[in-house]
Amino acid sequence: MKAQTAGFLRRLLIKPAIAAAAVVAPILFASAQQIDMNVVDQPGYVPSQEEEQLTGAYEKQLVFFRTAEAPGTVIIDTSQRFLYLVQPNNRAIRYGVGVGRQGFQWSGLQKISRKQEWPDWRPPPEMIERQPYLPRFMAGGPGNPMGARAMYLGQTVYRIHGTNQPQTIGHAVSSGCFRLVNDDVIDLYDRVPVGTKVIIRQAVAL
């Protein structure tokens, strides 16, 4: 009898817990989506070295990666928020990236058309309309949202560049560009020449 009573009490306690979890899970998911959607640029902010140190999946690392693309090709997986630099023998250097938020996501084939160290920042009119507080011009430097390096993608307005917001790596936050922490973008910049093939796609098959 005592065992039956204890079992009944456990069921009474578990059901509210499951119900509570069912309510909390969508709230947590919504919060994550809000983080992806609402992060704004912070011109002038200079992150600390500790902030720029990525850990876990988004830390730069050599990974197994099977592809028919030639070594030296850059492949950006916008759904997983990774950039791969293809290496020989089914390997790739994988970097964590921030990608375009909802409404600014895209895919396609491009080439690196130009490279720039410590690029200046000129927010386009559309960005200024969305964020009127932004400067019209900001010289390159540690507090510049373009970060330490930029690699321009064909004739588009999009770039692979650094960032002064390392906390945004792994999120969908940009206006269509791909951002890396400064140490990683410097590393990538030194490895890829102008003319490098860049594939942007929604998913990468490993």
Alpha-carbon distance of 4 to 7, in angstroms, equals 5
Marked catalytic residue, from 161, 179, 184, 196: 161
Marked catalytic residue, from 83, 151, 169, 177: 177
Annotation marks residue 177 as catalytic: yes
Encode the chain in three state secondary structure. CHHHHHHHHHHHHHHHHHHHHHHHHHHHHHHHHHHHHHCCCCCCCCCCCCCCCCCHHHCCEEEECCCCCCCCCEEEECCCCEEEEEECCCEEEEEECEEECCCCCCCEEEEEEEEEECCCECCCHHHHHHCCCCCCCECCCCCCCCCCEEEEECCCCCEEECCCCHHHCCCEEECCCEECCHHHHHHHHHHCCCCCEEEEECCCCC
Annotation marks residue 161 as catalytic: yes
**Which sequence positions are flagged as catalytic?**
161, 177
